Amino acid sequence: MPKNFSKSSIKIAVIGGSGLEDPKFFKKIKEVNIKTPFGYPSAPIIIADFNGTHVAFLSRHGKKHQFPPHKVPQRANIWALKSLGVERIIGISAVGSLQKDFKPGDIVISDQFVDFTKKRDYTFYEEETIHVSLADPFCPELRTLFYREAKKLKISVHQNGTYWCIEGPRFSTRAESKLFRNFADVIGMTLCPEAALARESEICYLNLSMVTDYDVWAKHPVNLSELLKTMEENAEKIKNLLLNAIPKIKEQAKCSCQESLSNAKF
């Protein structure tokens, strides 16, 4: 893993979409484009002043949304953030709902995932055997904080939820969606291997899923125009949640995320 080349105090990163790149939201300080052993990240990393806290922001799909889910350079993204000194990542995803009570407009703080992707780069360790534990793949400290702050803001939020990650870029068939409903609450295309790579990097990782639709198991299947409309509405909720929660992230983590490699070597 990379050693920090920066002596800056950038400890928190947000990975999300273009809807969050609002100059009223992030006060941009500079951009850095870091070359990694896996190429460049999907976009230059924005270093910004965020309500008094310096935060790194990375557009997962690129500045022009040019990377479809299965082509996002996830290893380069996580490596670049690690090299900056990032210790906490807040990953924001748009998802479809697989359950009636997970409604469009809700925010889900995932506690589990099922990886149904097929051809991605899943690890940094190609030359040695490393087995990190993903029994509980998301940082418990961040999950508790963000749930508490969401409740204070009266945001419709789910404290737990299983995220089913598919390859994409296509949406599911009705038969697939019915199958997935037996095992998960929401469905998306971007969580994996992002969460696993963060764990290999000993970075605390949180997933905030924005529910945009009912996938295709419902009578009215998902379509892109409705999805984008709901995403825009959800972005305001996410912004408010980040504004309230990020300043309350403690400087020193009390979880075990940053010791993930201690017993992982074969």
Catalytically annotated residue among 106, 111, 185, 215: 215
In the chain, beta strands by DSSP E: 12-16, 27-32, 45-50, 53-59, 88-97, 107-109, 112-116, 157-158, 162-166, 186-188, 204-213
Task: Tell me how far apart the alpha carbons of residues 43 and 34 are, in angstroms, rounded to a whole number.
Answer: 9
Is 260 among the annotated ligand-binding positions? Answer: no
Catalytically annotated residue among 106, 111, 185, 213: 213
Is 214 among the annotated ligand-binding positions? Answer: yes
Active-site residue, 49 included? no
Is 163 among the annotated ligand-binding positions? Answer: no
CA angle 51, 88, 187 (to 5 degrees): 100
Q: Give residues with Cβ within 8 angstroms of 134, minimum separation 6.
A: 195, 196, 199
Active-site residue, 22 included? no
Is 60 among the annotated ligand-binding positions? Answer: yes
Is 158 among the annotated ligand-binding positions? Answer: no
* Best CA proximity match to 198, nearest among 93, 54, 87, 43: 87
Is 18 among the annotated ligand-binding positions? Answer: yes
Angle (deg, nearest 10), helices 224-245 and 140-152: 100
Is 177 among the annotated ligand-binding positions? Answer: no
Is 129 among the annotated ligand-binding positions? Answer: no
Task: Tell me how far apart the alpha carbons of residues 146 and 148 are, in angstroms, rounded to a whole number.
Answer: 5
Task: Tell me how far apart the alpha carbons of residues 167 and 190 are, in angstroms, rounded to a whole number.
Answer: 8
Is 213 among the annotated ligand-binding positions? Answer: yes
- Known binding-site residues for substrate equal 189, 213-215
- Known binding-site residues equal 18, 60-61, 93-94, 189-190, 213-215
Active site residues: 213, 215
